Amino acid sequence: MSYVIDIASALPTLFADFEPVLAADTRLRLVILDGRPDAEVSNLVGDASQWMQAGDSEQVLLAIGESLSSLESAWGDQASLTVEVASLLQEFVMDTLNTTWPMKSGQGGVAEPAVIDSGPVWLWPDGPTPIGQLSR
């Protein structure tokens, strides 16, 4: 059955990095379409079939507020899903704050989300930091 899950529950390490820079009322959710939608999915997505890729039995959407984006990554590939969502949220944060983000103070350079050794990381010019550890 299709369902909606908050980013804080679905990808808690990713949420830990973004929580300090998002407005408190920003709703971040993943919509997993894999069958008959429940009421919450229907209210958010409308006609779920229009989002399904031909030949796929699952489609994941990112909901930022009421805005939806279709994702390439599957729910079962947590590392790729985390990086894809991080990239979209990074764009959202940079547009909202009108600045580059995240930045290391004194070192310059913006981190890009990537998968390295099967794990999601922020890739800095001087090396990676695991996603979820920006505040450290």
Summarised one tens digit per residue, pLDDT across range 51-85 is 887 777 899 999 999 899 999 999 999 999 999 99
The whole-angstrom separation of Cα 27 and Cα 136 is 25
Q: Which residues, at least 6 apart from 95, have a Cβ–Cβ distance to it below 8 Å?
A: none
Q: How confident is the model at residue 108 (pLDDT cuts 50, 70, 90)?
A: low
CB atoms within 10 A of CB 28: 21
**112 in Cβ contact with 86 (< 8 Å):** no
**27 in Cβ contact with 68 (< 8 Å):** no
pLDDT at residue 105 greater than cutoff 80: no
Is the pTM higher than 0.85?
A: yes
Q: How confident is the model at residue 135 (pLDDT cuts 50, 70, 90)?
A: confident
HSE-up (13 A, CA, CB side) for residue 37: 21
Higher pLDDT, 51 or 131: 131
Q: Please report, for the chain, the start and end positions of each structural domain, with discontinuous segments joined by +.
A: 3-96
Q: Is the peptide bond before 125 cis (omega within 30 degrees of 0)?
A: no
